[in-house]
Amino acid sequence: MKVLLLNPPFFPKFSRAQRSPAVIKSGTLYYPIWLAYATGVLEKEGHCVKLIDAPAEGLSREMVLKLAKDFAPRLVVIDTSTPSIHSDIEVAEEIKREIPDCFITLVGTHVSALPEETLRQNTSIDAIARGEYDFTLKDLASALNAGMGVLQYAHTNLGDNLKSVAGLSFRNNGKIIHNIDRPYIKNLDDLPFVSSVYKRHLKIENYFYSITKYPQITIMTSRGCPYQCSFCVYPQTIHGHTYRRRSVPNVIEEFKFIRKEFPQVKEIFIEDDTFTLDKKYCIEFSERMISEGINIPWTANSRVDIKAETLRLLKDANCRLLCIGVESGDQTILNNIRKGITLEQIKEFVENAKMVGILVHACFMVGNRGETKETLKKTLVFAMALKPDTVQFFPLMVYPGTDAYTWAKNNGYLQTQDYSKWITDEGLHNCVISTPELSSNDLVQFCDDARQSFYLRPRYILSKIAQIVMHPSESKRILKTAFIFFKYLFRGSQLIP
Q: Could you tell me if residue 478 is inside a domain?
A: yes
Strand 103-107 and strand 127-129: the pairing is: parallel
Q: Could you tell me if residue 135 is inside a domain?
A: yes
Q: Could you tell me if residue 33 is inside a domain?
A: yes
Q: Which of 362, 368, 357, 434 is nearest to 402 (CA)?
A: 368
Regarding whether 171 and 213 lie in a shared domain, the answer is no
Regarding whether 144 and 7 lie in a shared domain, the answer is yes
* Distance, CA of 207 to CA of 30 (rounded, Å): 6
Q: Could you tell me if residue 186 is inside a domain?
A: no
Query: Which CATH number goes with the domain that contains 108?
Result: 3.40.50.280
> What is residue 467's predicted lDDT score, i.e. its pLDDT?
67
Domain that holds residue 156: 2-178
- Please provide the DSSP assignment of 342-411 as one string: -HHHHHHHHHHHHHHT-EEEEEEEES-TT--HHHHHHHHHHHHHH--SEEEEEE----TTSHHHHHHHHT
The domain boundary residue, chosen from 115, 144, 178: 178
Query: Which CATH number goes with the domain that contains 475?
Result: 3.80.30.20
Is residue 1's pLDDT more than 60?
yes
Regarding whether 268 and 174 lie in a shared domain, the answer is no
Regarding whether 309 and 439 lie in a shared domain, the answer is yes
Is residue 343's pLDDT more than 70?
yes
Percent of the chain exceeding pLDDT 90 equals 86
Q: Could you tell me if residue 187 is inside a domain?
A: no
Regarding whether 316 and 247 lie in a shared domain, the answer is yes
> What is residue 396's predicted lDDT score, i.e. its pLDDT?
97
Regarding whether 334 and 282 lie in a shared domain, the answer is yes
Q: Could you tell me if residue 497 is inside a domain?
A: no
Regarding whether 453 and 318 lie in a shared domain, the answer is yes
Q: 13: helix, coil or strand? A: coil
Regarding whether 263 and 146 lie in a shared domain, the answer is no
Q: Could you tell me if residue 183 is inside a domain?
A: no
CA angle 193, 196, 197 (to 5 degrees): 100
- Which are the contacts of 315, defined by CB distance < 8 A and separation ≥ 6? 356, 357, 358
Instruction: Give the largest Cα separation in the chain, rounded.
Output: 70
State how far the alpha carbon of 51 is from the alpha carbons of 5, 39, 111, 126, in Å.
5, 7, 20, 20
Q: Could you tell me if residue 196 is inside a domain?
A: no
Judge residue 343's burial from the number of C-beta atoms within 10 Å of its C-beta, 0-12 exposed, 13-18 middle, 19 or more buried. middle
Regarding whether 386 and 292 lie in a shared domain, the answer is yes
> What is residue 484's predicted lDDT score, i.e. its pLDDT?
56
Regarding whether 210 and 153 lie in a shared domain, the answer is no
Q: If pLDDT is split at 50, 70 and 90, which confidence band does 483 have?
A: low
CB 259, CB 252: distance < 8 Å: no
Q: 51: helix, coil or strand? A: strand
Strand 103-107 and strand 75-79: the pairing is: parallel
Regarding whether 410 and 278 lie in a shared domain, the answer is yes
Question: Average pLDDT, stretch 315-322?
Answer: 98
- CB atoms inside a 10 Å sphere around CB 393: 23
> What is residue 460's predicted lDDT score, i.e. its pLDDT?
76
Record the pTM: 0.93
Judge residue 376's burial from the number of C-beta atoms within 10 Å of its C-beta, 0-12 exposed, 13-18 middle, 19 or more buried. buried
Regarding whether 287 and 173 lie in a shared domain, the answer is no
Amino acid in position 91 = V
The domain boundary residue, chosen from 144, 178, 212: 178
> What is residue 146's predicted lDDT score, i.e. its pLDDT?
85
> In the chain, how many domains are there?
2
**What are the strands, taking DSSP E only, across 143-255?**
168-172, 175-178, 216-219, 222-223, 244-245
> What is residue 195's predicted lDDT score, i.e. its pLDDT?
98
Is residue 474's pLDDT more than 70?
no
